[in-house]
Amino acid sequence: MSAAREMLCDTARAVFAEAAPAGMGPIEEAGFALLLVPEDAGGFGGDWGDVNAVLQIAGVVVPDLPVAELIVNDALQPAATVSLMAGAMGQALALSIEHVNTRQQFGRPLGKFQAVQQSLAVMACEVRAVEAAAAALAARLDAVGLDVAAAEFEIAATKLRANRAVGVVTAIAHQVHGAIGFTREYELSRVTIPLMRWRGAHGNDAYWAQLLGRQVAEFGGKGLWEALTAR
Amino acid sequence: MQGFALYPFDPPGDVAARRDELRAWLAVNQPQGDIVARANCWASFDADFSRALGAAGYVGMTLPARYGGGDRHPLERYVVIEELLAAGAPVGAHWIADRQTGPLILRYGSEEQRERYLPGIAKGELYACIGLSEPGAGSDLAAVRTTARETAAGWRINGQKIWTTGAHFSHIMLALVRSEEGSERGAGLSQLLIDLDTPGITIRPIIDMAGHHDFNEVFFDDVLVPHGALVGTRGQGWQQVTAELGLERSGPERYLSSHALLAALIDAAGADPDPAVASLIGELAAEMWTLRRLSMSTAAKLAAGEDPMVEASVVKELGNAFEQDMPRRVQAIVTSGWDDPDDLARLLRALLIASPSFSLRGGTREVIRGIIARGLGLR
């Protein structure tokens, strides 16, 4: 990650932490609405790689605040939601690893049991897939100057892939946490409930699967590969 | 943990032009035989095709020119490999030699071994197999018991390998053997490069459930090979093999084995597909696009000299699940009968039968998940 993006992320972490109890005020004051506005127009001049990084943090720290709506326009909301989801999934995984390494049963940490290890490996694969998809989508959006039509394939593929990961990620996170993860006090639900919400927002599975499936059908069997490798 | 970055996949040269050249070459040179051979095509043996591919410069691409190789960047090879697999080209004969044995000989082999074997590998004429599994050492590879004792005349080998893919057509085997008497587990193992026409070697076929002869039992009865058969460092076989296995887990073959079926499904569906079929195509395309990006990023990391062991395992786990689930999901939605003569039905049947092996070869799903769990800090 570039030094500028590192600094941006540090700022986002600090400001979002302040906003978590206070609401959108600190985020608006810090100028996040200007993230994608070009520098010569008085903005930050960021790209989608920056948006992806910032929204992954928002997905963890302020999942219930309309940060994505502040930063990007309506047409890009599906793409923005993917970044929120990737961040939240990373947090669900981090919490799960922490929990199974700490919580002891039968005289050892839960993470020493193969059944638990295998579950978390499955979950980690889903999280990595969504993180990779979000990063690949960012590369595409930046390559086409945020032209939503030119990135429609990638937006559809990424949102669909993220939607499909939610079930696996939330189920395993809650399963390995046991009852404590189901309490209001413990922080797991602060990412799993938003994940369930985002799965249905800005295009559910059926919507994107239809859109992508019809696009691929137009490509034809050989054309799919040619289209994938041409992008 | 946050902001997992994709490594940029940036091979030197004009990649689009290289793709076009290869596609044009395939249009002329790819055998137009049975479409079923295009499924799981890295298990399809075709010596003539391998030789032609080698002559065209598409085998041994990353080996140095002084050994007959192409002196190309690993990512240039990646592009060629994914094109060959997507086209369903029969690359099985030279596959292991090209992917694994050649690079390993270059890295660990002696000058004599390099000069002796690499030119044939780069021509697509010298085939290799990997002697790892034994009757008592499958997922538990460190339980290897085949012995090699150093004598005045060379290494004397006794024991048995099993599930050895391609041993019956290969010229050489790279075998993991216990070279140090009384050693246990990963210690005391070495890698030997064995010419398979050496006296004392018996190769017996094992026919798989698809009716194919891919794997074999290989018996060593007092087999004598020269001192120069040792690859790398004596006693370091375990470390060398583990590094080798990491290399083979993240390639495009981990998600493209069923690609011919996806292409056939799309063609059968036509330009205005039934909504349920469109949904399935959309879901499969989304997964495939994601896997390709992950695999490319991992390849770029490998090419940059990093060791993305966990990421490579993630590619294998997700890729195998994708190519294994696809036939089942296609069958759930199409009306093809088991014995129908059309392409879609025949590909479907072949892949349904082949697919249990996808999460066994190259490390079982359970072993792979164990590696990922270790990467997460759980073991």
Give domain limits for chain B: 15-126, 130-236, 249-375
For the cut 80, the answer to whether the pLDDT of residue B113 exceeds it is yes
**Please, what is the average pLDDT of chain B?**
95
Query: CB A157 to CB B311 under 8 A?
Result: no
For the cut 50, the answer to whether the pLDDT of residue A109 exceeds it is yes
Topology (CATH) of B15-126: Butyryl-Coa Dehydrogenase, subunit A; domain 1 (1.10.540)
B132 to B167, B175, B192, B356, B362: CA distances (angstroms): 12, 6, 11, 20, 11
**Residues in A 165-204 with any Cβ partner in B closer than 8 A:** none
Query: CB B263 to CB A219 under 8 A?
Result: no
Calpha distance A189→A181 (Å, rounded): 7
Structure confidence at residue A1 (pLDDT): 81
Q: Does B149 touch chain A (CB under 8 A)?
A: no
Which three-class secondary structure state does DSSP give residue B178? strand
| B318 CA: distance to closest CA in chain A (Å) | 7
For the cut 70, the answer to whether the pLDDT of residue B1 exceeds it is no
Q: B-chain residues within 8 Å CB-CB of A230?
A: 16
**Using an 8 Å Cβ cutoff, are A21 and A38 in contact?**
no
**Residues in B 265-324 with any Cβ partner in A closer than 8 A:** 265-267, 269-273, 275, 277-283, 285-294, 297, 311, 314, 317-318
Structure confidence at residue B242 (pLDDT): 86
Inter-chain Cβ pairs, chain A and chain B, closer than 8 A: 176
Calpha distance A225→B263 (Å, rounded): 9
Topology (CATH) of B130-236: Butyryl-CoA Dehydrogenase, subunit A; domain 2 (2.40.110)
Measured between CB atoms, which of B16, B275, B282 is closest to A212? B282
B26 to A227, A230, B15: CA distances (angstroms): 18, 18, 16
Position B2 confidence tier, pLDDT thresholds 50, 70, 90: very low
Structure confidence at residue A215 (pLDDT): 97
Active-site annotation of B, residues: 248
B6 to A170, B147, B165, B233, B241: CA distances (angstroms): 24, 43, 33, 35, 27
Superfamily of domain B249-375: Butyryl-CoA Dehydrogenase, subunit A, domain 3 (1.20.140.10)
ipTM reported for the complex surpasses 0.90 = yes
**Please, what is the average pLDDT of chain A?**
97
Spatial neighbors of B344 by CB under 8 A, at least 6 apart, are B261, B264, B265, B268, B330, B334, B336
DSSP characters over B157-175: EEEEEES-TTTTT-SEEEE
Topology (CATH) of A3-230: Butyryl-CoA Dehydrogenase, subunit A; domain 3 (1.20.140)
Structure confidence at residue B3 (pLDDT): 43
Give the CA dihedral B110, B116, B118, B120, nearest 10 degrees: -170
Tell me the pLDDT tens digit for each residue of B217-275. Answer: 999 999 999 999 999 999 999 999 987 777 678 899 999 999 999 999 999 999 999 99
**Residues in B 169-208 with any Cβ partner in A closer than 8 A:** none
Query: CB B266 to CB A224 under 8 A?
Result: yes
Tell me the pLDDT tens digit for each residue of A115-128. Answer: 999 999 999 999 99
Q: Does A212 touch chain B (CB under 8 A)?
A: yes
Structure confidence at residue B247 (pLDDT): 67
Closest CA to B303 of B3, B7, B4, B99: B7
Structure confidence at residue B379 (pLDDT): 80
Query: CB B2 to CB A121 under 8 A?
Result: no
Rounded (5°) CA angle A192-B325-B344: 140
